[in-house]
């Protein structure tokens, strides 16, 4: 059974339909990229997994638990399974980088100071931010803020991590570094990874499968080799707009 399942999820906000029957599944240890135009419901989709939102109809599942109807401790347990890189990073301005990264450990509780320090150091090293540990968010660049958010998302070593636009606004070199890091965590630690991104090229080069969301529907979900050859007009338009051709995949690692 897949680890995560969306079953015909419809989501309305004030009568306006944003998701119009979204279904897909993610296997344990898989890296799924979700791409699609702005405002199409990508972030809304992710938020259903940690129940920041609930479906108007349909259901969302983690293993055999329906996330949308979980209550109390069951819900807390579900939320604890996920690491989350929020779109925009959302670092707290009055805390240093190091303190921001330590936050999920402190909020969750049960980690002693030595363990916190060890994990924060490890997470900062992973994103190459060790030198910025004592700086405040306002004192570092946008790309460094992204990486700090990434360190915070991985610090609890969750087995599922949701990344909402981890590379937007970054230069190409930093983007590739981050894509590599996400892929490495996915492969080496078997972390199930859902990556929302506008970077279709990165998605095709690093993910196991790519899902394209358009007008609140899954237009396509397939492996990169199939995705680049899709005859779906929405997918073609998206690929052509970014000048992507099948030979891109020769660069896959």
Contacts to ligand ATP by CB under 6 A: 13, 18, 38-44, 87
The window from 82-90, 105-113, 125-133, 145-153 that contacts Mg ion (CB under 5 A) reads 82-90
* 3-state secondary structure at position 65: strand
By CB under 5 A, name the one of 9, 26, 31, 43 that touches Mg ion. 43
Taking a C-beta distance cutoff of 8 angstroms, is the pair 162, 83 a contact?
yes
Residue whose CB is less far from Mg ion, 38 or 71: 38
Q: Which is nearer to Mg ion, 43 or 174 (CB)?
A: 43
Complete DSSP assignment for 175-222: HHHHHHHHHHHHHHH--EEEEE-S-HHHHHHH-SEEEEEETTEEEEEE
- What is the dihedral sign for C-alpha 57, 60, 61, 66? negative
Q: State which residue, 2 or 39, has the beta carbon closest to Mg ion.
A: 39
Q: Which one, of 84, 200, 221, lies nearest residue 149 by Cα?
A: 84
CB of 35 to ligand ATP, least distance (A): 9
In the complex, least distance from residue 36 CB atom to Mg ion, rounded to whole angstroms: 10
Please give the angle made by the CA atoms of 165, 169 and 170, to the nearest 5 degrees.
100
What whole-number distance in Å separates Cα of residue 169 and Cα of residue 155?
23
Q: Closer CB to ligand ATP, residue 56 or residue 141?
A: 56
Instruction: Tell me which stretch binds Mg ion (CB under 5 A): 6-14, 36-44, 203-211, 243-251.
Output: 36-44
Q: Which does 18 bind (CB under 5 to 8 A by kind): ligand ATP, Mg ion, none?
A: ligand ATP
**44 interacts with, out of Mg ion, ligand ATP, none, CB within 5 to 8 A per kind:** ligand ATP
Report the C-alpha gap between 216 and 7 in whole angstroms: 14
| Nearest to Mg ion of 44, 105 (CB atom) | 44
Binding site for Mg ion (CB under 5 A): 42-43, 87
């Amino acid at each position: 059974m897949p680890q995560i399942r969306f079953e015909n999820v419809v989501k309305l906000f004030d009568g306006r339909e944003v998701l119009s029957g979204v279904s897909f599944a993610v296997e344990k240890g898989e890296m799924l990229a979700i791409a699609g135009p702005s405002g199409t419901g990508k972030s809304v989709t992710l938020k259903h997994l940690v129940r920041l939102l609930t479906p108007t109809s349909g259901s969302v599942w983690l293993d055999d638990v329906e996330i949308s109807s979980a209550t109390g401790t069951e819900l807390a347990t579900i939320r604890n399974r996920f690491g989350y890189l929020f779109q925009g990073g959302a670092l707290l301005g009055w805390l240093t980088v190091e303190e921001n990264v330590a936050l999920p450990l402190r909020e969750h509780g049960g980690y002693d100071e030595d363990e916190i320090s060890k994990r924060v150091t490890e997470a900062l090293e992973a994103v190459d931010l060790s030198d910025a540990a004592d700086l405040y968010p306002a004192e570092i660049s946008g790309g460094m803020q992204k990486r700090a958010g990434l360190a915070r998302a991985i610090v609890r070593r969750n087995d599922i991590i949701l990344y909402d636009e981890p590379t937007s606004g970054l230069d190409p070199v930093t983007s590739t570094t981050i894509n590599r890091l996400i892929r490495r965590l996915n492969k080496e630690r078997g972390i199930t990874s859902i990556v929302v991104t506008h970077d279709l090229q990165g998605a095709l080069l690093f993910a196991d499968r790519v899902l394209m969301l358009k007008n609140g529907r899954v237009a396509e979900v397939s492996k990169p080799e199939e995705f680049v050859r899709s005859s779906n007009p929405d997918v073609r338009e998206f690929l052509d707009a970014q000048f992507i051709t099948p030979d891109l995949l020769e660069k896959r690692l």
